Amino acid sequence: MARSSFHLFLSHRILKDKGNTFSRPIIRLSVCGISLGLVIMILALGITAGYKKAIRDRVIAMGSHIRITHFDQNYSFEQIPIDKNQSVVPLLQQHPDILGVQNFATKVGVVKTSDQVEGIVLKGVDETFLPELFQQNLVEGSLLQLSDTAVSNQIILSTRMASKLKLKIGDKVQTYFVQDPPRARSFVVCGLYETGMTEYDERYAIVDLRQIQKLNDWDSSQVSGLEVLIRDYDKIDELGQFVHSRAGYDLKAETIKQLYPDIFDWLALFDTNVAILLIITTCVCLITMISIFFIIVLEQTQTIGILKSMGMRTGHVMRAFMLVAGRILLRGMLIGNALGLLLGFLQQRFHLVKLNPETYYVSAVPFHFQWWSILLLNIGVFVICMLVLTLPAWVVGKKISPMEAIRFE
């Protein structure tokens, strides 16, 4: 305990030595460099996690985590119907990791106004629809008002489609369906949504599922498929396999990652970019720490010689200097964490940095705090830097002899 206290005392005196006119400004610059490195790494982790979460949530809000449909290899919008009262549904509803199961149906049609014609995909939902995820995309109006007694004639359009068709809340929409015989339906716009994803905003509209059942001459139990929402996205692959194994022989269960591989492969590239950035920034911190370590050792060469001439072992002397380096590193990391988390909080709360949603799919730089990743980042940076410093500390300690160190100027 006494020896550890001496090492702490010695490291404190070296840092507070007012005679260190050369190293003092360099120490300050080193602290600033380490702080800047931590800020960059924290922002990189937070922005990447936020961007991935924002895009992922928008995709899932228009669909689900897992989709169950007929096993016919048909990826069109006109699918073979299945019975919504599947034996797997009660099992899924009781699963602790599953938020809910909702019915859906899709139908391709055409929207016509006085001067515009647009293709459209109607997605039908019923009372099993869970609005929590979709609510974040609703920018104007309200959700569908579904009733047990009457079929709703309301429709939710995307802002992009409404702009093309020059429609607003309360306007009527005439839709036509090419089938035998051809049919038409009139809807009233009750809400406008926006995901920023062209895949959805240029195609999909939300209607009462019973409208699609009537258009397709289905009975009340027939739907295009079932959508399964889960509580923890990290378990999507595991739960996808679970649902697929429990579904009937004529059904298939696909995760959102399997349905839209291009989007999720693109998001996976973010991890590679962040890993490269973290490696580069960590290397910069390492170079900074090694440089300041050699500068402090060079400036305190006489002190090292005196201590060694008094019988202090080389390992104990260099341990004190390692503590000096550790204190500088911790000081820079604390400042960097404070600044990085503050900037992340301000961006998350006030959306200070804006983006073009047509290019980046979001209107502001998203930020998501993942405390475990920030903790691992700090532990990793500190441990790597201190481990790397042990080699130059050992080499320098062995090379410095007491006689030459005392005479050193």
242-289 pLDDT tens trace: 999 999 889 999 999 999 898 899 888 999 999 999 999 999 999 999
Q: What is the DSSP letter of 75?
A: -
Q: CB under 8 Å to 153, separation ≥6 — which residues?
A: 185, 186, 187, 188, 208, 211
Q: Are 66 and 239 in contact (CB under 8 A)?
A: yes
Strand-pairing partners, residue 123, are 106, 206
Phi, then psi, of 139 in degrees rounded to 5: -105, -20
Determine the average pLDDT of the residues in 234-243: 96
pLDDT tens string 142-161: 999 998 889 999 999 999 99
Q: Are 55 and 188 in contact (CB under 8 A)?
A: no
Alpha-carbon gap, residue 157 to 192, rounded angstroms: 5
Question: What whole-number distance in Å separates Cα of residue 135 and Cα of residue 122?
Answer: 18
Residue with tokens 């003092």: 24
Q: Report the percent of the chain where pLDDT is more than 90.
A: 63
Residue 121 neighbours by CB distance under 10 Å: 14
Report the C-alpha gap between 284 and 133 in whole angstroms.
Answer: 41
Please report the DSSP string for 48-74 in residue order: HHHHHHHHHHHHHHTS-SEEEEESS--
Residue 92 host element (H or E): helix 88-94
- The rounded radius of gyration (Å) of the Cα atoms in the chain is 31
Checking if the pLDDT of 19 tops 60, the result is no
Contact 133, 102 (CB under 8 A): no
pTM value?
0.85
Give the per-residue pLDDT at 1: 42
pLDDT tens track for 69-100: 998 756 667 788 999 999 999 999 999 999 99
* 212/295 Cα distance (integer angstroms): 76
If you average pLDDT over every residue of the chain, what do you get? 88
Q: Name the percent of the chain in helix, strand, coil, to the closest 5.
A: 55, 20, 25
Distance CA 350, CA 278 (A): 26
Q: How far apart are CA 228 and CA 239, in angstroms?
A: 10
